[in-house]
Amino acid sequence: MINWLKKINWGVRFSDPGNMFRLVLVVGAPILTYYGLTATDLTSWGVVIGTLGKALSNPYVLGTVAVSFYGWLVDPTTANTSDSKQALTYTTPKEDK
């Protein structure tokens, strides 16, 4: 496994609803944009699955999703791709006071 992936607090990232919503956006937006769709075009599971299938078979779309995902993954408050030592100790997202 890539070493820096071990230095990300995955539990906190995936337990935060706001963070999960952003993840859906960073994965979904490049796909919808490439195919010229909007969220209102996704009117059935067949359309959603068909669009995802097309996206998975298109290297360009996968590349744009990967770049978008990387932007979601990286913590801009640290010098590299890992979370800070303090953030690694969290069990829930830190709340500002």
The predicted-structure confidence for 14-41, as pLDDT tens digits, reads as follows 998 999 999 999 999 999 999 999 999 9
DSSP 40: G
Mean pLDDT of 47-57: 96
Query: If 0-12 CB within 10 Å is exposed, 13-18 middle and 19+ buried, where does residue 26 land?
Result: middle
So where are the chain's domains? 17-83
Query: If 0-12 CB within 10 Å is exposed, 13-18 middle and 19+ buried, where does residue 83 land?
Result: buried
Q: How far apart are the C-alpha atoms of 13 and 86, rounded to whole Å? A: 14
Place of tokens 């010229």: 36
Can you give the C-alpha Rg of the chain in angstroms? 16
pLDDT value, residue 94: 79
Q: What is the pTM of this model?
A: 0.80
